Amino acid sequence: MKALVLSSGGIDSTTALAEAVQLFGHDNVVSLSVSYGQKHSKELQAAEAVAKYYEVEHLNIDISSIFEYSNCSLLAQSDEEIPRESYEEQISKTKGERPVSTYVPFRNGIFLSVAAGIALSKDCDTIYYGVHKDDAAGFAYPDCSDAFNNAISTAIWEGSGKALKVEAPFVNKNKADVVKRGLELKAPYELTWSCYEGGEKPCGVCGTCIDRARAFEANGVKDPAL
């Protein structure tokens, strides 16, 4: 039994990694971060620090060439600004009819497929990732939905010759639940990075900073990374 965990250096995937380490043991866990052309590398450094903390094998893969035709606001080549507002405010503008501007085209599908190829090569039988239901709300990130997760899990199971499962332990939970679980597991949140901007400190006003702050607040805990 061996697991590969998609790790972005944020709190959701760090909690998924904490789950996997507890279940499989750190010798049987591989952490994978992905360079996809994002505007900064703070999250990649965080993913590496978290892997080091858990003493798991850590891989990084650069697939930025896949996204070179996209103008998504998270990407280095984009002239779009990263929205400085909550997801609710963004969804009120998209009316739930299209993804938000920080949706990277089919990112989770690409990450999970790439993870599947590497997991099979590294003799893993399970992939963990930290998707949760808040990100799917209002059509913001359609590649975080339950329907997507079920379909890609089946695709990976069937397409791997029934050798590889996908586990998404938080797909029906919200971000506050994820933090609750991570606090129980003593996940090293002080090492994580969520902010879409790559500043010295988190900006506090992008969608993911706002979401993160609320998730800690809901648990009555100070964010240890601030």
The residues that touch a second copy, with contacts defined as CB under 8 A, are 61-63, 65-67, 69-71, 98-99, 103-110, 112-114, 116-118, 120-122, 139, 142-143, 145, 147-148, 151-152, 154-156, 158-162, 164
CB 141 to a second copy: min, Å: 9
Count other C-beta atoms under 10 Å from residue 119's C-beta.
Answer: 27
Sign of the Cα torsion 52, 67, 109, 169 reads: positive
Cβ of residue 187: shortest distance to a second copy, in angstroms? 27
Comparing CB distances to a second copy, the nearer of 62 and 85 is 62
Q: How far is the CB of 71 from a second copy (least distance, A)?
A: 8
The CB-of-220 to a second copy minimum distance in angstroms stands at: 35
**Are the C-beta atoms of 61 and 34 separated by less than 8 Å?**
yes
Locate 129 and state its tokens.
């990732």
| CB of residue 18 to a second copy, shortest distance in Å | 25
Complex with a second copy: residue 15 or 108, whichever CB lies closer: 108
Nearer to a second copy, 68 or 184 (CB): 68
Instruction: Report the DSSP beta bridge partners of residue 6.
Output: 32
Minimum CB–partner distance for residue 98 and a second copy (Å) = 6
Query: Measured between alpha carbons, how far is 164 from 153 in angstroms, rounded to an integer?
Result: 9
Q: Which is nearer to a second copy, 23 or 155 (CB)?
A: 155
CB closer to a second copy, 145 vs 192: 145
Nearest CA among 11, 12, 8, 10 for reference residue 31: 8
Choose between 155 and 203: whose C-beta lies nearer to a second copy: 155
Q: How far apart are CA 63 and CA 44, in angstroms?
A: 13
Torsion from C-alpha of 106, 111, 62, 189, nearest 10 degrees: 110
Rg (CA), the chain: 16
Question: Which residues partner with 103 through β-bridges?
Answer: none
